[in-house]
Amino acid sequence: MPTTGDDINALIRSLAPPELRELLPPPCLLDMQGAFLEYEEGRRLSLRFPVLPRYRNPMGNMQGGFIVAALDNTLGPLSYLIAPPSVTAILNTQYLRPVGADVPHLVCEARLVERTRNVLHLAAEARTGAGKVVALCQATQQIMQGGPPAR
């Protein structure tokens, strides 16, 4: 059964060394007001992010950097749940459509594509609340020494 809401945050904190627990979730996730939705162990994680007026460009659309930040703020916790610690080596994003002022929030879902001994291959997508895909993302995470062995 998937883990939801605050239980996901508790799970992430339980994996962290004691000196890092107070730093979780990180300020970048808190600033974007990301809310954990659902975690399927070792497979996928989803979060919801409000589309705030301060994220808009002069044309009224959500600026692409904030879209990719929402995706990265979803990929990071998933990678930590799968193989703490790891770091991003490659992050590629394709934008499919603008996120206008009429979109109240994005739902980002990240999933594990493949895990090797030293690398996580992840994919993510951002959707509007109505389910329209606005961006796709692929990430390669380098697993740091001392992480758990591949399953």
For 86-107, how does the pLDDT look when each residue is reduced to its tens digit (9 = 90+)?
999 999 999 999 999 999 999 9
pLDDT value, residue 82:
94
pTM to 2 decimals? 0.93
Q: For residue 85, say if its preceding peptide bond is cis, omega within 30 degrees of 0.
A: yes
Question: Three-state SS for 44?
Answer: strand
% of the chain beyond a pLDDT of 70: 96
pLDDT of residue 146: 62
Indicate left, alpha or beta for 60 from its phi (over 0: left) and psi (-120 to 50: alpha). Answer: left
Residue 87, C-beta contacts closer than 8 angstroms, at least 6 positions apart: 141, 142, 144
Contact (CB, 8 A) for 67 and 13: no
pLDDT of residue 87: 94
- Cβ burial of 12 (10 Å; 0-12, 13-18, 19+) is buried
The arithmetic mean of pLDDT across residues 71-100, rounded, is 96
Residue 150 has pLDDT above 60, yes or no: no
**Whole-number average pLDDT of the chain:** 94
Tell me the C-alpha distance between 28 and 89, whole Å. 19
Above 70 in pLDDT, residue 66?
yes
Residue 52 φ then ψ, to 5°: -85, 150
Q: What is the pLDDT of residues 43-54, one digit of tens each?
A: 999 999 999 999
pLDDT at 98: 98
Which CATH fold would you assign to the domain 3-143? Thiol Ester Dehydrase; Chain A (3.10.129)
DSSP string across 83-103: SSSEEEEEEEEEE-S---TT-
Q: Is 118 in a helix, a strand, or coil?
A: coil
What is the arithmetic mean of pLDDT over 129-139? Answer: 97
